[in-house]
Amino acid sequence: MVDSSEKSLVLEAPKQLKSYKDSICQYLREAIANQQIKPSDCIQEKDIARQFGVSITTVSEAIRKTEGEGYLEVHANRWVTVKNISERVRPL
């Protein structure tokens, strides 16, 4: 028989961990917002991959996602730049 005065242990579900892709997207957004990466800068996928210890494929996926959000522009020869703020901001 269980003593009713005992409180049952209630556990919270663990918070979902971010994927590497999402972490890289967040890093890029914050670096752009803080002007650590500027429109004139060229973003190197291999450098980000090395920094995060992930494959270039993971970085490419993050860049495509961030490009879709309007932060980056991927050029024909696969070099990546930050869009100018005037290109990212749409009139209301």
Q: What is the mean pLDDT of the chain?
A: 82
CATH number attached to the domain at 20-88:
1.10.10.10
* Per-residue tokens: 76: 């024909």
Q: What is the pTM of this model?
A: 0.72
So what's the pLDDT on residue 4? 54
In percent, the amount of the chain with pLDDT more than 70 equals 73
| C-alpha span between 36 and 17 (Å, rounded) | 25
